[in-house]
Chains A and B, each alone.
Chain A
């Protein structure tokens, strides 16, 4: 059979990942099944739920709505990049303290949206936080404890809380 593969090289969390992939391979599948980074989750594969959100050259994208070949040469950050060894990122720490997750399936995507959000909005209002979360579906929490977690993470990142 003819080879329809393309060589792609994507830097994920600072590490180069190369693959020879079909053009139809989704970026989410490349990250999860080629690079083996399964922290990024897939919830709908039609761009609504936000579970698969990663940072592509610093901006949040739905990795289920991109092909891996479109990310050739790009730099991707996933949830695995957040913690520093055993030390959780302030966002992760705040989610744990505020019970901002239950099943945890939607959480990685939410964290990846929030990282640049808090960088750009260090002191967001609850309305700002809810707007930022509105691209994500969570079926467990009802969002309230997520909002509290984002508030706490913002304070931690501002150095106002340990």
Chain B
């Protein structure tokens, strides 16, 4: 007790008095709510520590890392073709899209280019995984808002897309299909016609959700003006993808840096929304799904003939050098920074995944909102846990 000086005692009393002055107005105690790591709304193991005043959020702190699998390190002990097996599992809903930027980076280092047919099929699979991924978002967002039905439709209709991916690659979830210099296989017979049927179903799915949710007054009341991200804030937090486009920033890798994929040969547009709220994020993703269907129709009609593999040595040694390739994945910008020392294995791989940057805005955007809105805002930011933690 002797250690406590008079000065400390005075400071203690002053603190108490200050607290009393604050609390006399409304005597409520803050509550710390631990959302996750296991919570239905985080669909994975994201933990968010939320300090509440009543039902209002005072501070929110996301704690990622519960699913860290060390892919960047693991990639250093695997040969280039083996890495795609790992990166499939980053954004597990749009797995094929994860492989593409890595393969493109390796191709750039080796100065190989895939033949046109391979590029087209890559783009087709890329857009199919986008539809499969975002379809689930479109249903999941509704679940977070309390409407259970759309997610059943989403799971039902996404299955058609996965079937098509499986028909080409042999894997529903983890295709592991992209190769340096091309693709593993060609598309099977009759696949194009089947996929067109699936696209019709997916278009009906989008229309159904449009009627069921977007036109619904409760949905609008819950999402409009909620979780507004101004464009400059979104940019400064490094958001990408639909989250940024929903804030009115017209930026899309597919149009602005279409390396290795054939987007520049298609007729399509980038959707943006000026509002930056949860509704805008939902709307932009819905439009993007429709746009992807339109793109796929053009892609399916125009597959060029030719080989699907370029001339690549059997044992792949990538020349020394560094390359960063980013593509517009379903969740946003995904890039691989590959450093090679001329070996069988990459010297270093840095994965820039979209969700990690997208949830960095959580403390900013959640401040002052109510608990129900916490969930809808998180849902509208749309992250995949594997994409956050790698």
Asked if chains A and B come from one complex, the reply is no
Measured CB to CB, the residues of A under 8 A from B are none
**B residues adjacent to A (C-beta < 8 A):** none
